[in-house]
Amino acid sequence: MRRSSALGFVLALALGAAASSAGAATASPNRVVLLPFDNIAHAADGAAVVTSKLELALAARGYEVVRGGSVEELLRAGRVRYLDSVPLKVLHELAERHGAGGVVVGSLLTWTSGVPTVAVSARLLAPDGACLWSNAAALAATETGGAFGRGRVKELELLARRATDRLVATLPAPADLGRARPRGGGGAAHVTQYRSPELFAKPRRLAILPLENVADEDASVARIVDALLRNRLAVHSGLAIVEPAELRAAIVAEGVTTLWGASPEKLKKVGDRVGTTLFLRGAVLRGLLDPEQTVELHLYIVDVEARRVLWSALQDRSKAEFEKLLGLGNVDASVTVADRVVFELVESLYEGH
Amino acid sequence: MSSEGEQPMSRSTTRRALIAVLIVGAAGCGGPARYVNPTADFSAVKTVAVLPFENLSGDKVSSERVQRVFLTELLVLNTFQVVEPGQTNYSIRRANVDVSALTADDIKKLGTELKADALFTGTVIECVDRAGSAEGSRLSLQLRLVEVETGQTLWSSSSTRKGATFGSRMFGFSAKPSTTVAQELIRDELHGLVR
């Protein structure tokens, strides 16, 4: 966790306390604003349920949670369309107006009833946009209960509660915020990768472009992996991640209609707006619906000014491999396998750095 | 010449048939078929671009997957400057070039725009993904390096790799997944090129 982020958090509290505008509330070190979940799973009920469950889970960790009317009013006024990331101005206003030191944004990744499965991701952002904490959690009903399926959780709502409890398990107590470190999940695996020494030669920002979905599945698959990737990258300090809201604004301003087909010149202009020449691109080659339950990703970072690839890596994991070789237990939520692949790729990016 | 009423065979179809014949021939001979142009000056090849791979297999995403494995292995090799793939794809669209039927003019046009000395092309002939079975995955791949200036083939290889191992055949262990098979095949072929 960056020291500047922790300082930002403290500064935000101080700013909140000193706020003189009529709408500003007195800052509380424990207070966070919780936004409604971004609904990647296209399950309206599910998004509402996990938002409520996360509120309870945050409260249990010692946070005072602000959500509902006044928050949604600010989101409407700021014309916020995607809830996984909000423009910096809106983020700052949300925190200041409610006297909060941070804003929690989350995404509902999976909400299925066949084999009941819930997957969620969330980030705690400081008013200056720095990520203070992030995590993702997935749970299938078949992963719960004991021998012969006794005590198995069958209701999605109960599963959502367990998934959100698992999600906040890595969230530090309010007094300890700013001390979080990249979370593990087993050691980093061998990943075939190329990395140019130029990548970390100087502090840089990295803009993450939407992943291509080569696996030809549900379009939301690429968004799920995108959310997992953002979470895993956010906790490393080597490359500062451009907030999606900031990138979206730059894309709109440059009139880019398709990012996959955008010319390098156009991407360079988008990069100028967000202060970087580095873009992360990639593809979901085999995804969450693969019959072999294998997730395979290719990620690469390009410098649009130098027109060079600075990092390229491929990794795949199957559900069976996850259980047997990695010894990480039974998993039926494909998002857990995808998160493992993302973890290994991100760890390989920072390996030795 | 085709008779009246018959559809003439397209250049692309002819090429595909030719590649298939070459591959079958190579497989029949039991090993990879490699060609190195005796007049080629590889020291002049500094910058290369990797074109999208052609797909003759039944697996509709195999060419995309194998091409990405190839790109990463080529970068790991650290022998050539590799044109950024986004730039390559953009230039192909802008030049309106059919990568499955490249003419010498197309190669020159594309290579000049990409500021590349040579272009890598690839064709996935067969890709069977059976990682969980004893017989394993199987990949047949043709690779080619073409000089931009002359349109001449500098290097080409056709090879087949199977994922079955001693353990998978004898004891029913899982064989190598298709990506590992692709990585090993491509690594060997590229090392053969730069040796």
- Summarised one tens digit per residue, pLDDT across range A120-152 is 999 999 888 888 888 998 888 888 776 666 677
Average pLDDT estimate for B129-135 = 67
Asked if B177's CB is within 8 angstroms of A316's CB, the reply is: yes
Chain B CB contacts of A313 below 8 Å: 72
Asked if B83's CB is within 8 angstroms of A307's CB, the reply is: yes
Asked if A294's CB is within 8 angstroms of B87's CB, the reply is: no
Of A298-307, B12-21, B126-135, B172-181, least confident by mean pLDDT is B12-21
SS3 A298: strand
Best to test chain A binding among B60, B61, B74, B75 (most A CBs inside 10 Å): B75
Q: For chains A and B, what is the number of CB pairs under 8 angstroms?
A: 82
pLDDT tens figures, A20-42: 444 566 667 789 999 999 999 88
What is the least distance, in Å, from the CA of B99 to any CA of chain A? 17
Average pLDDT estimate for A307-333 = 76
ipTM of the complex: 0.77
Q: Above 80 in pLDDT, residue B111?
A: yes
Token digits of residue A200 = 């970390």
pLDDT at A33: 93
Q: Which residue would you say has higher pLDDT here, B191 or A214?
A: B191
Asked if A312's CB is within 8 angstroms of B71's CB, the reply is: yes
Chain A CB contacts of B60 below 8 Å: 216
Question: Which contiguous run of DSSP H or E holds residue A194?
Answer: strand A192-195
Residue positions counted in chain A: 353
Best to test chain B binding among A191, A303, A314 (most B CBs inside 10 Å): A314
Q: How far is Cα B65 from Cα A144, in angstroms, rounded to an integer?
A: 35
Best to test chain B binding among A209, A294, A297, A321 (most B CBs inside 10 Å): A294
Interface of B with A (CB under 8 A): 60-61, 64-65, 68-69, 71-73, 75-76, 78, 81-87, 89-90, 93-94, 129, 131-132, 174, 177, 179, 183
B83 to chain A: nearest residue by CA? A308
pLDDT at A264: 84
Q: Above 90 in pLDDT, residue A263?
A: no
Average pLDDT estimate for A75-103 = 87
Q: Above 60 in pLDDT, residue A9?
A: no
The pTM assigned to this predicted structure is 0.81
Q: Each residue of A13-23: b (16+ CB within 10 Å) or e? A: bebbeebeeee
DSSP A171: P
B62 to chain A: nearest residue by CA? A285
Q: Above 60 in pLDDT, residue B117?
A: yes
A316 to chain B: nearest residue by CA? B179
SS3 B172: coil
pLDDT tens figures, B50-59: 999 999 988 8
pLDDT at B31: 64
What is the least distance, in Å, from the CA of B76 to any CA of chain A? 5
Q: Each residue of A135-164: b (16+ CB within 10 Å) or e? A: bbbbbbbbbbeeeeeeeebeebeebbbbbb
SS3 A101: coil
What is the least distance, in Å, from the CA of B59 to any CA of chain A? 11
Q: Which of A75, A91, A96 is nearest to A23 (CA)?
A: A96
Interface of A with B (CB under 8 A): 192-194, 214-216, 261-264, 267, 281, 283, 285-286, 292, 294, 296, 298, 300, 302-304, 307-309, 312-314, 316, 318, 320
Q: How far is Cα B90 from Cα B107, in angstroms, rounded to an integer?
A: 15
pLDDT at B79: 93
Q: Which residue would you say has higher pLDDT here, B148 or A325?
A: B148
Mean pLDDT: which of A89-103, B27-41, B156-170 is highest?
Answer: A89-103
pLDDT at A16: 42
One-letter amino acid for residue A21 of the chain: S
Q: Above 60 in pLDDT, residue A236?
A: yes
Chain B CB contacts of A262 below 8 Å: 86, 90
Question: Which contiguous run of DSSP H or E holds residue B185?
Answer: helix B178-194
Q: Above 80 in pLDDT, residue B3?
A: no
* Cα–Cα–Cα angle for A198, A202, A204, rounded to 5 degrees: 100
pLDDT at B132: 63
Residue positions counted in chain B: 195
| B64 touches B29 (CB < 8 A) | no
Average pLDDT estimate for A161-181 = 81
Report the mean per-residue pLDDT for chain A: 82
